[in-house]
Amino acid sequence: MVDLFEKLKMEAGALAKYSHLPDDYFFFPKLEGEIAPRMKFNGKQVLNWSLNNYLGLANHPEVRKVDGEAAAQYGMGAPMGARMMSGNSVNHLEFERQLAEFVQKEDAMLLNYGYQGVVSIIDAMVDRKDVIVYDAESHACIIDGVRLHMGKRFVFPHNNMENLEKQLVRATKIANETGGGILVITEGVFGMSGDMGNLKGICELKKKFNFRLFVDDAHGFGTMGKTGAGAGEEQGVQDQIDLYFSTFAKSMASIGAFVAGDKKILKYLRYSVRSQIFAKSLPMPLVIGGMKRLELLRTQPELKENLWKITRAMQSGLKERGFYLGSTQSPVTPVLFKGGVGEAANMAMDLRENYGIFCSVVIYPVVPKDVIMFRIIPTAVHTLADVEETLTAFSALKHKLDEGFYRTEALVSVTKGA
């Protein structure tokens, strides 16, 4: 037997080996100032490409005004209690109506957080007789929801339709034996690689198999589709998504989330999603502020157009300079290099300290051991000059990486005193 705390200290997780680095440089960095392309990091102004503030709504003057007024009028406490008990309001109901309409579904339900919402929706949708089939690169909230499932689950390699079909054959066999149903889960836009879930391909399989489709469109909502209704709209299959989910943490630049679908299923979910039944309702300022964001998203298409203008300039500029961006189809722009973790840290530091550019760097175990991924998130409030500055910096970085400049430990050690 061991003391639990001693064990945890020894096995602090895959990222623990980096914990000797300063807590606020590579991990838990503090970006200061108003949410904008230029923010302060480590005492200096940086050009920031690391926020999912896709449409630039976080600091939009109308949003800030409504957020402030709603907080002044209601405080963060109202309404008190869970929706089911004492935490319902006309604003919550109205926001749900507007969200459902926007994503072309009959009904919608607010969730306090996306992560918890997804876990709990999956939990509510299936019992031990049912079978889940899900994409291997799904977000942690899907994986954790699946972990709660007591019945069979099958995973298909990312976007591999041939394999999905095989898993559906297996799932159908089991569901026929148990008398259960099948839930297929994927994402609209995958937040690391930026490619879309093959929703069209999955929906095509509905002709051969009997299943329901749940799509987490956290990164597609507001960024994809003609109206911004997401990856389903983009691929022309929005009506075939049985349950549509998005968080407010990205395009909406807020907190909260929602799920939308048929009225009867939404009614079922209102009485079954435990993360909502047993939690206080979403605070009123977030609901009122959410409606303002949705209004801007609906009525100011130039926000999405700008986002895509910046995205296209960034992605084509990087490709022209020989960078490899994987298979992105969305504003999420991964820039992939070959190199180890030490080189990744040195590159990120050089980029921040000497080029004044801040973007997230993703390392093993999120990507394979010899891959370095810089993840650039363009937004509607960046400019073409920001893009140019970044392209120049990335070209310099690539040159230095190829020359072996980042193999030295010297740079990282400087940050230890930072």
Ligand X SMILES: Cc1ncc(COP(=O)(O)O)c(C=O)c1O
Among 67, 137, 187, 343, binds ligand X (CB under 6 A): 187
- Which residue is listed with tokens 């048929």? 262
User: Are 293 and 63 a contacting pair, CB within 8 Å?
Assistant: yes
Size of the site for ligand X (CB under 6 A): 13
Position with the least CB separation from ligand X = 114
Query: In DSSP terms, which residues pair with 337 in a beta bridge?
Result: 372
Using CB under 6 A as the binding rule, whether residue 258 contacts ligand X is answered as no
CB of 15 to ligand X, least distance (A): 18
Radius of gyration of the CA atoms of the chain, in A: 22
CB of 245 to ligand X, least distance (A): 8
Among 29, 79, 87, 114, binds ligand X (CB under 6 A): 114
Q: Compute the distance between CA of residue 66 and CA of residue 63 in angstroms, rounded to an integer.
A: 5
CB of 255 to ligand X, least distance (A): 7
Using CB under 6 A as the binding rule, whether residue 143 contacts ligand X is answered as no
**Nearer CB in complex with ligand X: 92/139:** 139
Provide the CB-side half-sphere exposure for 341 (13 A, CA): 13
Among 171, 231, 237, 257, binds ligand X (CB under 6 A): 257
Mark the segment that binds ligand X (CB under 6 A) among 107-115, 160-168, 297-305, 374-382: 107-115
- 3-state DSSP assignment of residue 190: coil
Using CB under 6 A as the binding rule, whether residue 141 contacts ligand X is answered as yes
- Which residue is listed with tokens 């001693």? 6
Q: Compute the distance between CA of residue 156 and CA of residue 39 in angstroms, rounded to an integer.
A: 40
| Residue 393 CB coordination number (10 Å) | 18
CB of 326 to ligand X, least distance (A): 17
**Nearer CB in complex with ligand X: 87/197:** 197
CB of 372 to ligand X, least distance (A): 21
Q: Compute the distance between CA of residue 219 and CA of residue 108 in angstroms, rounded to an integer.
A: 18
User: Are 251 and 217 a contacting pair, CB within 8 Å?
Assistant: no
Using CB under 6 A as the binding rule, whether residue 216 contacts ligand X is answered as yes
Using CB under 6 A as the binding rule, whether residue 218 contacts ligand X is answered as yes
Using CB under 6 A as the binding rule, whether residue 67 contacts ligand X is answered as no
Using CB under 6 A as the binding rule, whether residue 249 contacts ligand X is answered as yes
* φ and ψ of 357, to 5 deg: -120, 130
Residue 355: partners with Cβ closer than 8 Å, 6 or more residues away:
393, 396, 397
**Residue list 118-137, contact with ligand X (CB under 6 A):** 118
**Nearer CB in complex with ligand X: 67/187:** 187
Using CB under 6 A as the binding rule, whether residue 191 contacts ligand X is answered as yes
CB of 120 to ligand X, least distance (A): 11
Residue 105 Cα distances to 76, 101, 229, 332, angstroms: 29, 6, 11, 26
Question: Pick from 146, 83, 141: which is nearest to 112 by CA?
Answer: 83
CB of 143 to ligand X, least distance (A): 11
* φ and ψ of 24, to 5 deg: -125, 25
* φ and ψ of 404, to 5 deg: 85, 10
Using CB under 6 A as the binding rule, whether residue 37 contacts ligand X is answered as no
Mark the segment that binds ligand X (CB under 6 A) among 85-93, 110-118, 269-277, 334-342: 110-118
Using CB under 6 A as the binding rule, whether residue 215 contacts ligand X is answered as no
The phi-psi region of residue 392 (left if phi > 0; otherwise alpha if psi is between -120 and 50; otherwise beta) is alpha
**Nearer CB in complex with ligand X: 110/284:** 110
**Nearer CB in complex with ligand X: 216/350:** 216
Q: Give the residues lining the site for ligand X (CB under 6 A).
A: 113-115, 118, 139, 141, 187, 191, 216, 218, 247, 249, 257
